[in-house]
Structure 1
């Protein structure tokens, strides 16, 4: 399964580079509950470095989910694909 990184989780005055909002292909609000707990993999396009995260909860009512990564992601990760393992 694949998805897209929509944005970092943001507050009013700061953002959280370890927490990202994901939009998953073909996943609706009711189906998003089933992907909680799965691992997420993002590969850096230039260096090939792998970043591993975990889907922890839903975000909103459109099927978006929130994922926490072990290391913070670079800004160029926004708008790129991730793989759901």
Structure 2
């Protein structure tokens, strides 16, 4: 998981997700599903998968609010 960004801008609520263990044919079917990031203390932040990003199976998700820096590189649950 990483932040979606441009050359000069960072979108705090937009994250790029790389699904592991899912066939490439099935990845587009994940659009519209809910994702949840859980902190080590149990705090949950929900988001929604909105679209694909590029041609290599990366997903774009928008969360309710920005995730903390400790969330970068961690796993999220796709419901």
How far 1:14 sits from its partner (Å)?
Answer: 2.0
How far 1:27 sits from its partner (Å)?
Answer: 3.0
- Where structure 2 has 5 or more consecutive residues not aligned to the other structure, the ranges are none
2:20 corresponds to 1:25: yes
Which structure: greater strand fraction? 1
Q: Moved runs in structure 1, 4+ residues, more than 6 A?
A: none
In the other structure, the counterpart of 2:60 is: 66
- The 8 Å contact of residues 58 and 64 in structure 1, kept in 2 or not, is answered as yes
Q: How does 1:1-85 map to 2 (within 5 A)?
A: 5=1, 7-45=2-40, 47-85=41-79
- Where structure 1 has 5 or more consecutive residues not aligned to the other structure, the ranges are none
Q: Give per-residue Cα distances to partners, 1:36-74, cap 9 Å, x unaligned.
A: 0000000011x3110000000001111110000011111
CA distance in 1: counterparts of 2:43 and 2:32, whole angstroms? 22
Number of matched residues?
79
Of the structure 1 ranges 61-70 and 25-34, higher mean CA displacement relative to structure 2 is found in 25-34
Cα root mean square deviation, aligned: 1.2
